Amino acid sequence: MKSLSLVCLVAACHAGPPSSPPLRLGTTYTVQQSGALAVLESLWTSTSAPRVATVIGPSGQILHAAANGDLDVVITHAPALEERLLLVPGRTLLTCPLVASRFAIVGPVTDPAQVARAATAAEAFRRIARAGRPFVSRGDSSGTNVKELALWQAAGVAPAHTWYIESGADQVTTLHLADERDAYALADLPTYAKLRDLRLRVLFAADTALTNPYTLYVVRQAAPHPAARDFAAWAVRAGRAAILGIHLPDGTPAFVARAGDCAPFVRTEPRERP
């Protein structure tokens, strides 16, 4: 497993008494590379807030770290992994819907697999497979990678072929590799929009299956960080509103709000048979 990169929210790291432990926030490369993390960082550090240390990595690694008790709060976008690693084992205190972005299938402007003519994302993936055109996957247990694999499954395709390339890297690196190879890829739209030097074009995005929901979780700890609940409440109020201010180059919002406030986790015990 790759090591996670530890990034301090610089201003916050200088706030508060030196002896107070930082709030350990785990989040994903797309939160960072889409610009959402910078918005949260700027707003949080402008308050009289406790120190925050941010760990950035693929959703899978972040969720494993949270399940191991190494993080206090996480923001991820891999619902199936969140269910398996946090919710089912009861490793969360609060679940907070935050925002959602969209995925898109991007590729060469000539679109040799005719992805743009597809009616669904699954059909778009089948077209890529039938054409045998190169596709670059992140292959890193990220939320993007999990979504991509679900789309291949929905398409009825097992992508273990010579045209399937795994970068094992973050979204930006993966998109640059796809650009070099004239390949297709699945992209988080806000992140893609920041890469103005790519030749890749958005070819397909019109499917609700490409919704990309982000959720904040307060991780259950023997001794929860005293600022964890405050951070969560702040994130779904001021933090969410600030993220919604990010726009794509065409002026449309990069993110939409997910309705609801933080809700406590309630373990559901299986019913006994009569």
Most confident of 10-14, 41-45, 266-270: 41-45
Which of 187, 27, 41 lies closest to 104, judged by CA? 187
pLDDT at 173 over 50: yes
Contact 78, 143 (CB under 8 A): yes
CA torsion through residues 110, 111, 116, 117, sign = positive
Q: How confident is the model at residue 13 (pLDDT cuts 50, 70, 90)?
A: very low
Q: What pLDDT sits at residue 69?
A: 94
pTM for this entry: 0.88
Query: What is the Cα–Cα distance from 247 to 172, expressed in whole angstroms?
Result: 18
Q: What is the pLDDT of residues 202-233, one digit of tens each?
A: 999 999 999 999 999 999 999 999 999 999 99
What backbone phi and psi angles, to 5 degrees, belong to 181?
Answer: -95, 5
Angle between helices 59-67 and 143-155 (to 10 degrees): 120
**C-alpha–C-alpha distance, residues 56 and 40, integer Å:** 14
- Can you give the pLDDT at residue 44? 85
- Distance CA(73)–CA(92), nearest Å, equals 9
- pLDDT bucket at 165, cuts 50 / 70 / 90: very high
Asked whether the predicted pLDDT for residue 5 surpasses 60, the reply is no
Of 70, 57, 51, the residue nearest 27 (C-alpha): 57
Q: How far is CA 59 from CA 2, 77, 109, 111, 122, in A?
A: 12, 7, 30, 30, 23
Confidence of residue 19 (pLDDT cuts 50, 70, 90): low
- Percentage of the chain lying above the pLDDT 70 cut: 89
Q: What is the average pLDDT score of the chain?
A: 90
Amino acid identity at 190: P
Lowest mean pLDDT among 32-36, 257-261, 264-268: 264-268
Tokens coding 64: 């494993």
Structural domains of the chain sorted by starting position, each given as residue range(s) with its CATH number in brackets:
5-100+213-264 (3.40.190.10), 102-210 (3.40.190.10)
